[in-house]
Amino acid sequence: MTVYDLKPAFQNLLRPLAARLVAMGLRANQITLAALLLSFAMAAALALAPHDLWPLWLMPIVLFVRMALNALDGMMAREFGQKSLRGAYYNEIGDLLSDAALILSMAALDGLSLIAAVAFALGAMLSEYAGVLSQALRGRRRYEGPMGKSDRALFLGSYALLRATGILPPGWSDTLFFAAAALTLPTTLNRMKGERS
């Protein structure tokens, strides 16, 4: 199971918005770049104000908006004739850069070591590479979990909320991030051998 399994229902909710954006003259690639810029802005806010609470409260909202933008650009590309090779590059590379920026920026927080953040970021990149490589080798992009893109967003958003509320002691941060990094390994293996579309 993975949060990605909820994507079809999420897309159904967003489909009218996708049609409206297309009617306004917006392109899928513009939405993809907007998601990337939003992620970079959030990462910069967290890195520059690691002792303030507002970036932590803002993180779950930004992650939700980013997920919505990621769903919208895909629908605009597939369902409204905006699919392109450049868009595919933007989508995959943009996701990798966004994840890396958001994960690594959290190393600015007290209690989270850079090595734990780097381990999670590298694991995320490895699992996404396995998904893309499967498309090249088998003709089908893989999205299996347990730590796919949507799952990582849920993890980061939950972590930020728990830190903002003070429920999670900073001393647990490395343990959680190393555990998340460990979950990227079965994710990678599942994408290498999985048969789910």
What is the pLDDT at residue 195?
52
In order of their start, the domains of the chain are: 3-193 (1.20.120.1760)
What is the pLDDT at residue 45?
98
What is the pLDDT at residue 197?
41
User: d(Cα 24, Cα 2) in Å, to the nearest integer?
Assistant: 33
Tens digit of pLDDT at every position of the chain (197 positions): 667 777 788 889 999 999 999 999 999 999 999 999 999 999 999 999 999 999 999 999 999 999 999 999 999 999 999 999 999 999 999 999 999 999 999 999 999 999 999 999 999 999 999 999 999 898 899 999 999 999 999 999 999 999 999 999 999 999 999 999 999 999 999 999 865 44
What string of H, E and C letters represents the secondary structure of the chain? CCHHHHHHHHHHHHHHHHHHHHHCCCCHHHHHHHHHHHHHHHHHHHHHCCCCCHHHHHHHHHHHHHHHHHHHHHHHHHHCCCCCHHHHHHHHHHHHHHHHHHHHHHHHCCCCCHHHHHHHHHHHHHHHHHHHHHHHHHCCCCCCCCCCHHHHHHHHHHHHHHHHHCCCCHHHHHHHHHHHHHHHHHHHHHHHHCCCC
CB atoms within 10 A of CB 13: 10
What is the pLDDT at residue 7?
79
What is the pLDDT at residue 82?
96
Output the pTM of the full model: 0.92
What is the pLDDT at residue 1?
60
User: d(Cα 72, Cα 146) in Å, to the nearest integer?
Assistant: 23
User: d(Cα 82, Cα 59) in Å, to the nearest integer?
Assistant: 30
